[in-house]
Each structure stands twice: as C-alpha cells, then as structure tokens.
Structure 1
Amino acid sequence: MVYEKELLVAQLAVQRASIATKRVFHQTAKGAVSKDDKSPVTIGDFGAQALIIHAIRKNFPEDKVVGEEDSDTLRKNDELRQQIWEVVQNTKLEDAEAEKLLGGPLTSESEMLDAIDYGKDEGGGRGRIWALDPIDGTKGFLRGGQYAVCLALMVDGDVKVGVLGCPNLPIDDSAPLDVKIGENANDEAGKGVLFSAVLGQGATSRPLGTAGLQPGKSIAMKNLTDVSQATFCESVEAAHSSHGENAAIAKKLGITKPGVRMDSQSKYGSIARGAGDLYLRLPVRKDYQEKIWDHAAGDVIVREAGGVVTDIHGKRLDFSIGRTLRDNKGVVAGPKGVHDAVLSVVKEVLGV
C-alpha cells in the first residue's frame, strides 16, 4: 500500500497526541495564554505539537512540517514550559511497539522546544511537507466542545495522507448530528474517533484507543439527492464564517433543519461519514486567508469518502503555495450529487 508507513505513523502520533489533550482537559488549570491573534493556546496545543513532530522527525527526518505553534512563549514562561514538559513526559501509548515506532519519549525540555519549532516551515509546492494543527478548535477544547488533532502529508503540494483525532465525537458513525453536539461535549464512554484517508485508497474511521490502533471501517458520504433534506455544519465562531449568509443559503436551498455549529475539522469528519451532509465556511473578510493546517486533513478525508471540497468559486483548495490558502476563498464541502446546486446558491447569496 502506498504511504503505508506514513499513514500508520500519522494515526499513532495523532492518537498519542489526543491522549495528551484529553489529559490536559481534565486538569483544572489548562494554562491558556493569548497569542498576538488573540486566540487561546493551551498546554495541549504545545504538548501535542511536540509529540507529533517528534514522531515525524524520527521516522521521516528529511520531511518538513508546517505547524501552528512555536515555542517563543514557552521560552519566556518557565511555569508553562514545565507544565507542558510534564504532559509530554507522561503521555505514552500502552503498546511498546507503537511507542518504539513513534521514536520513544522525548529526552529533555530542549528537545521538546526544538520539536515545536521544527513546525516553522513555510510550506510550498515541492517535496514532502506535513501540515499540523495540534488542537484545531482551541476554544471548543477549552469549553468542552468539539476539537480535533489534525495531521496531513502533502507531496509536491498535493495532500496524500490525512488523519483527524476527534476525542469528543461519538464513535458510532451513524449517530446523527444535532444542535447540541458543539456544546458541553466530553470524552465519556462511546466517544473518540480517529478518521484517516490516503489519496486513492478511501477513508476510514475507528475508535480512538490508548495503545495500538483499534479496528477501522470504511466511511462514505451520504448519498444525498434532495438537498432540502441536508444537514449542514458551520463554525461556532461568527468570526470564522458568516452565520447570516449560511442561513440565507440554507433557506434558498429549502433546508429546514437548523445548522449544526461545531468547532474544528470535526465537521469534515462528520460529513465524511454521513452524520452530516454539508460544510460551509464562508469568508467574513476579503483579506482573510485560510491556514493550510485547518483544512488539509479534512479535505482528503472528505474527498476519499466520495465528497467534493472546493472554495466558493468552485476551485479545489490549493495547498501548494505556502502556509495559507491565499488563492482560495471559503470552503464548500458536500456530496457530489448536490455540490453544484449548493455552490450555485452560495455564489448567488455572496454575489460572486
């Protein structure tokens, strides 16, 4: 199987990082700080990034990584750095062979900081580059909602492997989305999903475990022919997508079900397995550029599940031009059978 080792390392690395994020969530103090863009960063973000990049460097030392975080804050904050180091030290898979494959434990705080900073690559259209979001949906994570640990491998600008760890989604692929899924979620029994895909080889889901990989099964988009029956997903944060325009689009399409607001690329995973149908992320500013780590894994998972992912102009998402999707505006993802109809209405409402 092409990219067999890459897929296995990515799945296990995301699973181990997901364990770290769950441990951090259950701590009373999550150690949130603020970056320049005012979004919260937690111990879980830094810890997950260090663990995943460590595994990538041990297995694929020539590969580059485009990650969301850097260690500047940690180098100035001894207390926060110590908290993250404790999480990194104490997070292990309950499987010796899996741990060995991931490169074993990090040996020092210095190695941890270097791993985090290895994610500063600028990306581009040549070579092997991993796109990493250690906690996508940090605000959802902080409030106990949906979040995802996201990792994708791009080769010459094309996404080949994608993995999403979604600790608060129900394991049952057939569990329908409801309007409360983005609120007060938790990782109780029956929750925690690992989505993955390799280009040309289909998409799968499996329960998140604590050791090796759990058995997986193929997933597919719902075969939707009547768009009025669709369930659509949108971001919780109004700053990420226009709720008003989403509602106008739903009305024109005859959709009467309320939109499901949830954080992170868990939306991609949810529609890929047929729990939802459409994902709309409409631009709120002309100058806003989506980050590649917010979409790369979800993009390939949805497409391998039989769906279509484009921007509002109908163009494929272009991951080959750096850290952002600067040649794309917004995201429209859904089943092949209705994507053109949805895109037409999106263009009409947005005046494109």
Structure 2
Amino acid sequence: MSRYSDDAELAAELADAADAITVERFRTQNLQVTAKPDRTPVTDADTDVEDAIRGVLSGRRPGDGVAGEERGGSIAAPGRVWVLDPIDGTKNFLRGVPIWATLIALLDGGVPVVGMITAPLLGRRWWASQGGGAWLRDSAGERRLSVSRVPQLADAYVSTTDLNNWAEHRTQEAYLSLTRACWETRAFGDFWHHCLVAEGALEVAAEPVVNPWDVAAAQVLVTEAGGRFTDLDGAARFDRGSALSTNGLVHDAALAHLRRR
C-alpha cells in the first residue's frame, strides 16, 4: 500500500467535486470567458472548480500548500503542495469537444507523489500514487495500468498537442524527425496522450511547451505504470517547460530526435 493512499482517496473526492461543476457547465450558454496574457482562454467554470477544490483542501489539509493555474501559488513551496489544473483543455470545453479533464497532483518535496486525472465526458478517470501503481476506471470497470512493451520507435505510436507549438517553442523539424521514425502519428494532445501512454495504447507523447500544472499528475501516472517521464532534454522533471512520456523502452531514442540541437 502506498504511504499516500489517504491523499489519493482525498484526490478522488476533489475530482468528484470538480466533475459536478464541469459536467453541469459544459455546453451551457452562460459561460463567462476572458483571455489571459498568453491569449489562452479561461472561463468562470475554471475558477469555480479551482475555488471548490481549494475550499475542500483548506478544511481537510490546512497545512498543505496549493498552486493552481487560475489562482496562483508556488510549486516551489516547501513540504506538500497540491497542484491544480481545473480544466485542462479549456479550448475543447468552450467549443463543445468532450475531451477535457481536471488535473490534481500532490507534490511532496517537489516530487509528484499523487496524480488524479478525471475526464467525466469521456467516462474515464486515471490516478496513481507513489508505490501504489497507476489505475483507470471506465465503463469496463477498474484496472491497473501498464505501459506497452513495444521496444523500438519503428513500431511506436506517437502523439503531440499542436504542431505549430513546435515551431514556436522548439523546432518542427525535431518533431517531424521523430514522427518519421515512428509507425503512426496522432495529436490527441493535452492530458489524454499521457494517459494513453500509461494505458499502453501509445508509446510516446511529446509536448514542446507545458506548464507545471499540465503534467504534474501525468508524471506520477506514467512512471507508476512503468513508463518514463522527462522534459525534452532528458531531466525527470515536470516543471521545466516541456514533456516527454514514453513506455521507457523507446525513451532514449525519442530524446535523440527531440533534444535541442
């Protein structure tokens, strides 16, 4: 049993609270939308979810820090810090595409030790805790996750988020070099392709630009499923601005295409 089992149970309660808000607000006509300085949208559903989670944490874990996409906070604070992305995939949420999720992670000493990803319109919830394995619940029930055993890129499925991001934040040629080495390419994007790596459905998920709250939960999910998670330069960190999830077997080969030249 993981030493963080109680925290994982609390993360499930937080996910339930988030789902109650996001499901009710999805495809409603009265969303209030503003743009952040980076031009990404934020809705009042985002802020309502984060506020609800913070409210529960203030009563249940008053000594823990909280860092959220919408309300701020420091992931570098000492001790335990909950990291929140109330709606990952806000653009999908706004356009009526049902691929979005609430991401919840717990850091202990700066290391993700609990991850919870809940995507209610997909009917799927993924979670993991350090030493407790990675899990999925969907319409087929609950099962423990394990990454694929595909040993080489030539047989691998690879996914990214937005190809244009590679031109702005890395190089498109680096990613295209990787895709040419792989069997199939997709663009599932955001939280979902990291979850698919943990499930064993994909071998590689690569993103040239991420925020810490985008991938903290994914790091513990992928690693507990037996995979490997780093930034695009090979550091096993979620807070360096990029992300690479793999089944582990093809990780170094993928990095060889994606490292800065």
Which letter maps to 1:250?
T
Contact 1:161–1:198, Cα closer than 8 Å, also in 2: yes
Question: Matched residue pairs, number?
Answer: 256
Distance 2:235 2:5 in 1: 29
Distance 1:231 1:194 in 2: 22
Bigger radius of gyration:
1
Distance 1:245 1:143 in 2: 30
Q: Paired residue for 2:60?
A: 59
Distance 1:222 1:163 in 2: 21
Calculate the TM-score normalised by the size of structure 2. 0.90
Task: Determine if the alignment matches structure 1 residue 294 to structure 2 residue 223.
Answer: no
Q: Paired residue for 1:303?
A: 223
Task: Determine if the alignment matches structure 1 residue 148 to structure 2 residue 101.
Answer: yes
Unaligned residue ranges in structure 1 (runs of 5+): 71-119, 168-186, 209-213, 284-289, 319-324
In the TM superposition, 1:201-240 aligns within 5 A as 201-207=132-138, 216-236=142-162, 238-239=164-165
Distance 1:311 1:239 in 2: 15
Task: Determine if the alignment matches structure 1 residue 166 to structure 2 residue 95.
Answer: no
Q: Which has the higher strand share?
A: 2
Calculate the TM-score normalised by the size of structure 1. 0.68
Contact 1:137–1:147, Cα closer than 8 Å, also in 2: yes
Q: Paired residue for 1:245?
A: 174
Distance 2:127 2:253 in 1: 28
Within the candidate set 307, 311, 330, 2:242 is matched to: 330
CA displacement at 1:65 relative to structure 2: 0.3
CA displacement at 1:30 relative to structure 2: 2.3
Q: Paired residue for 1:316?
A: 236
Which letter maps to 1:165?
T
1:59-112 CA-partner distances (Å, limit 9, x unpaired): 111111001113xxxxxxxxxxxxxxxxxxxxxxxxxxxxxxxxxxxxxxxxxx
Q: Paired residue for 1:23?
A: 24
Distance 1:346 1:239 in 2: 14
Q: Paired residue for 1:340?
A: 252
Unaligned residue ranges in structure 2 (runs of 5+): none
Contact 1:166–1:266, Cα closer than 8 Å, also in 2: no
CA displacement at 1:245 relative to structure 2: 3.2
Q: Paired residue for 1:272?
A: 198
CA displacement at 1:305 relative to structure 2: 0.5
Which letter maps to 2:6?
K
CA displacement at 1:224 relative to structure 2: 1.0
CA displacement at 1:152 relative to structure 2: 0.5
Contact 1:33–1:42, Cα closer than 8 Å, also in 2: yes
Distance 2:19 2:201 in 1: 22
